[in-house]
Structure 1
Amino acid sequence: MLFIDVVIILSAILSSSWILLETFYYTRSGISYPARGSADGKASIIVAIKEEDPSTISELVENLSKLNYSDYEVILVSDDPEEKFERLKHIKLPVNFRLVRRDKPHGRKAGALNYGVSLSSGELLVFLDAEARVDPDFLTKVSTHLRQAEAVALRLKVRDLKNKLQVLYSGITEFSMDSLFRGRYLRGLPIFPNGSAFAIKSSTLKRIGGWKEGVVAEDLEIGIRLFLNGVKVGYADDVVVETLAPYNWKDLFHQMKRWAYGSGQLLPYSLSMISKGIKGIEGAMYANQWGIYPLFFIVLLIAGFLSPILSSSPIIWISSMSLFLLSSLVFSLRSRTREYDLRIPALMISAFLSGYFLGLFNAKFSWRVTPKVEREQELWIPLEPNVISYLFLVSGIITLKSYLIQGTILFVISIVLLIIP
């Protein structure tokens, strides 16, 4: 077997293994939690906001003002320019709410969160996004969980589904919660918090040094750091935080690209988890899943360009592609997908490939806030997916001169990537 064949089959195994692990983790088994107690300690809810519609913030304030908790505060930290911040000042705030603006918004979202923490006085810290909506007993449940763990990830649920894309996104979120959070938690694997719904003791956050400023995936980074510092993050499946889904394909693409960029940026740091044994190795895979998904396709693309000097076996290409497709089929069946659209995996491959690659080289990255309100559809010509599709097309043309099957596979991948709207 030639060297390039070994690389192709190994990349297929790695990409497929994570897809199959997700299906293995998936479970609907219940989690036994301790009985809910009374309020335990002052809680500070911190929300970083930027370029949010005033109606979103107004609804957030109304929602959080109805919490049944004796002692809590809400701190809204805005990184908006002065003219946009002015639009928020008309919102009526309860006495335990604060709306502040950072004159110098450095450190990205993590910088805003650290600023909010510096203003807080709670023993329990809760971090939410602007579109988050919770039940009145939310903080009571969080307080109960933080008696058992120093930090806890909360369950996300997508609300207000208005189109097919949002239904698809909701299904992905539900599966992720039942697999990567509930399933991994029940197996004793490290939980990595979602920055949209996360709670931690103030003393613990202070001990590990707060949020890491400047990184794109601040939630993934703090999850890695908590694991390396021996802090076990719990998972509260019974504490639901409702969120919103992107309204269109462009928003979803840029959101997924941001996730992948953050993962690629943290690759060297995430690999340090391997020193912690099997759980650390699995944790490193989780942290780099956005790079693992498209890895197989990257290898095929490179193999195509190298085909004039490095020959490869069509049997290896066929068997590797069959393995990847079979694992994807198992994933689809296991996740009980009701709505399916080929544009979702095509979008994921393009977004993860481009985002992770840029993150690896710490390329200049412009943060795009995913819009939270419905708006008119805009014409979107997806640049990155088209460039990636073109690269597969060129690679296929080069390969086709000597290898029919390999070239055909590359052509098909190129066409599939073009179905994104």
Structure 2
Amino acid sequence: MRPAAAKPAWEGDRVKHVLGAVRRSFQPWNDPGAKPFIEFRGVSKRFGSFAAVDGQTLTIYEREFFALLGPSGCGKTTLLRMLAGFEQPSEGTILLEGRDLAGVPPHKRPVNMMFQSYALFPHLTVENNIAFGLKQDRLPRAEIRDRVAEMLRLVRLEGFGKRKPDQLSGGQRQPVALARALAKRPKVLLLDEPLAALDKKLREETQFELINLQETLGLTFVIVTHDQEEAMTVADRIAVMNHGRIVQIATPAEIYEAPRTRYVADFIGSVNIFGGTVEPADGAAVALAGEDGFALRVANGAQRPPQGAPAWIAIRPEKVRISHEPPPDPARNAVAGEVWDIAYLGDMSIYNVRLASGKIVRASLLNAFRTVERPISWEDKVWLSWADDAGVLLAE
């Protein structure tokens, strides 16, 4: 587990980077004795008749990197703003370290926010942007100078302190905003779409830098994003939201491999969803009469809908086999189709296959070799198939 008393970088030597081992063992949500660091209890936020957040309960643990994920308008930013104190709940309670935050103004909360726009002051230098909040708190000049220097080292921008924001690239402005948010030493850092303005490659690099920074400082980070890959990269746990409600909270692997609903399965990554009607019990598996004209079978999971009930099976493209030849057992989890589109992505190829029903099914193949003996091409007749345990049974 993560060290209980690790010191932030500004209090002494940097914590040794042990990201892999730490992230594998850090699971306080599975510990009955662990106390939540942040709690939302039955929290709602209404704007007129519109419920941006609808009676939600959520716990976040100390030193957790937690992601609020969902489409625009789902309520994730409203939750973040209520924690920061910029919005007040219409109902419910928000607690930090067991303390009710009701009536506590934003500047008196041990919380700081990094905004999507970065909100840097254009007329101030990088150093003065970072120092702004410290000066507002009337810290001694020497302490401000030392802390600004520490923040610049932390985000690897030594030598940029005298520049102004318009003399920096977008990739450089982002860590300045991060340094300013961290300078006041908050207990919780809130990140509102912090990487949205960066290009894809820089965004991917910065995601890992955020993970390293959070591990080094030992702080609690809460990030809001609509980017599923970003959430799955940085977060210990993800709360998927829709229409003001939390649909599922789980680790990235659990969200991807074991979604609870069609909405979560479809929102996270690429997925094929097949509908059908539950047939009589088939041993340990659940059998469906597929609505696309072929039999479906899935290894029994946590739920078994009653016979005759509608159900769905979610299959990730990388778990779908594609071949010119039929599989050994074409009677279940197998269907023929025609290659409709191909996307070559370098590391993998994506095949969109059109079934006789008109449904498009996606399969992905890893390009492990530079050449392929018998490539699959457009308009080829192919078979798609998958194992019983490759899919996830969904009842809603």
TM-score band, normalised by shorter chain: under 0.3
Provide the TM-score with structure 2 as the length reference: 0.28
- For the pair shown, the structure with the greater C-alpha radius of gyration is 2
* More strand by percentage: 2
Higher relative contact order structure (alpha carbons within 8 Å, sequence separation ≥ 6): 1
Provide the TM-score with structure 1 as the length reference: 0.26
